[in-house]
Amino acid sequence: MRALAFMRIGIALIVLTDLLIRGSDLTAHYTDEGLWPTTLIHNFGWKTGNWSLHELSGSYSWVLSLFILHFIFALFLLFGYKTKLSTLIVWLLTISLHNRNLFVQQSGDDLLRLVLFWGLFLPWHVHYSMDAGKTSIPSKQNIIANIGYLLLISSVYFFTVSLKTSSEWRSEGTAIYYALSLEQIRLPLGDLLYQFPVLMKLITWFVFYTELAIPILILWPSKKGNLRWIAFVLLIILHSGIGLTLYVGLFFIINMVSGLGLLPKKVIDKVETKFKLKKETIILSIKKTSALNYFINSICVTVIVTSIIINLSAVNWFGYELRKEVWYPVNALRLDQYWGMFSPSILKKDGWFVYHGMDSIGRQYDIYRDKEYVDYKKPEHIVRMYKSDRWRKLAENMQNDNYTFLRPQYCRYIIKKWNKEHPDKPMNMLNLYYMEKINLADYKTTEIKKNLFCVCNDD
């Protein structure tokens, strides 16, 4: 329960940090003045059962009020005040926020939602909280909820390794090479590692077999929790490497914090001693099994089975899929999940955007660089073109031919924003180009292809 309390604190800090990051682009991503107005939400990506309070109005004041409410209850969750109620509200507002703009989301957001869901049933309010010692708790924990949490963390790694079916992962050992070839996400430490092909091959094997080992270590019975402690250490090493070399936003932090519930007693004891944390007195109670307990357990079992089927349906050797009727509650609760990070193979399409503006008399301007000539050369660090990982994810989606509808929306937003911030040099037209290259083996790439993604006017 102390490990779960640490996880609660970590999850709350992630939610608060995420809200601050998203809030810096509140207008751009969540209002009608931005690139994804409420009139378009149901037209693209929306699934039966999805819902969002954030879509009820496209005004800045409405979205801001929801962000503030979300932030307040995340603080309550952090300090453990009315923890169960706070968990419920944070979970619901997180679903609402994620549904408002589906195209700036990443798999870490799915994990965050699911951990918050299991937090409704886990006793993560018992320690290091304002609620501690105020209410009694059952003498026996909800075993099914515990299993649900352990299966969630295990599923992330079991299914991501199951989906890594390409030769880059299975035989060639070139997956990390191709991942670090993506300059749009490669960080400075990744630049350094990219110079050592043998080391990248060794790391590829390490990642693959670590992801294979983690679920086994989590689920294998261990009275003292030693195996789960090893799983947690491997998890930290794995995601620290990802976060230090690739620009993936909060993804790696979410994964590390979600594993805090695996910490064994001996580790928690050392942490408490070192930081002089107060150990609360727990009031235990023996309660008879009630109809409510049966109902809660049935929910947990249903979610566990449904989640396993959803994950299994993503692999080639499993032929069963959920019925359409079942997807309605799944989408309503956002229990959907897919752990295909860098699977089945690594993305090889790479490149950068060029913002070619033109004023009323035909003068050309580079809107991104704020220069009176358009520079199509590759920037020294492509990854620095993105303010946050939300923008990077949006750019990645725009590169996909299945999301071409994002391009004109983005183009119109950029030119309007430019003209609002630069009234002395307004642009009448913007040509959005994507300079595309395909990463090949042995540090080679295809010739750069100049793709015109969109032409838009300021109207």
In a domain, 342, yes or no: no
pLDDT, tens digit, for every residue of 243-281? 999 999 999 999 999 999 999 999 999 998 888 887 676
Q: Could you give the count of Cα atoms lying within 13 Å of 23 in the half-sphere of its Cβ? A: 16
What is the per-residue pLDDT for 282? 73
**DSSP 8-state secondary structure symbol assigned to residue 43:** T
What is the per-residue pLDDT for 329? 96
Residue 88 and residue 212: Cα distance in Å, rounded? Answer: 33
What is the per-residue pLDDT for 455? 95
> Do 257 and 377 fall into the same domain?
no
What is the per-residue pLDDT for 285? 64
> Do 14 and 129 fall into the same domain?
yes
What is the per-residue pLDDT for 321? 86
Q: pTM to 2 decimals?
A: 0.95
Question: What tokens does 331 get?
Answer: 């989408």
What is the per-residue pLDDT for 133? 77
In a domain, 339, yes or no: no
What is the per-residue pLDDT for 129? 92
In a domain, 302, yes or no: yes
> Do 298 and 406 fall into the same domain?
no
Q: Which of 60, 100, 61, 93 has the alpha carbon at shortest distance from 75?
A: 93
Domain total of the chain: 2
> Do 291 and 387 fall into the same domain?
no
What is the per-residue pLDDT for 290? 80
Q: Which of 51, 15, 1 has the alpha carbon at shortest distance from 257?
A: 15
Residue 68 and residue 65: Cα distance in Å, rounded? Answer: 5
Residue 118 and residue 447: Cα distance in Å, rounded? Answer: 48
> Do 245 and 361 fall into the same domain?
no
Regions of the chain with pLDDT less than 70: 136, 138-139, 279, 281, 283-289
> Do 26 and 141 fall into the same domain?
yes
> Do 397 and 299 fall into the same domain?
no
> Do 311 and 371 fall into the same domain?
no
What is the per-residue pLDDT for 458? 80
In a domain, 344, yes or no: no
> Do 156 and 93 fall into the same domain?
yes
Neighbours of 57 (CB within 10 A): 15
What is the per-residue pLDDT for 43? 94
Strands 137-138 and 284-285: parallel
What is the per-residue pLDDT for 284? 65
Residue 204 and residue 168: Cα distance in Å, rounded? Answer: 9
Question: What tokens does 152 get?
Answer: 């969630």
What is the per-residue pLDDT for 146? 95
In a domain, 53, yes or no: yes
Residue 148 and residue 103: Cα distance in Å, rounded? Answer: 28
What is the per-residue pLDDT for 18? 98
- Mean pLDDT (the chain) is 94
> Do 259 and 382 fall into the same domain?
no
Question: What tokens does 334 get?
Answer: 């956002």
Question: What tokens does 236 get?
Answer: 């930290």
> Do 408 and 286 fall into the same domain?
no
What is the per-residue pLDDT for 225? 86
CA distances from 392 to 69, 103, 185, 383, 435 (A): 27, 10, 8, 8, 15
In a domain, 114, yes or no: yes
> Do 232 and 301 fall into the same domain?
yes
Residue 377's domain comprises 349-457
In a domain, 228, yes or no: yes
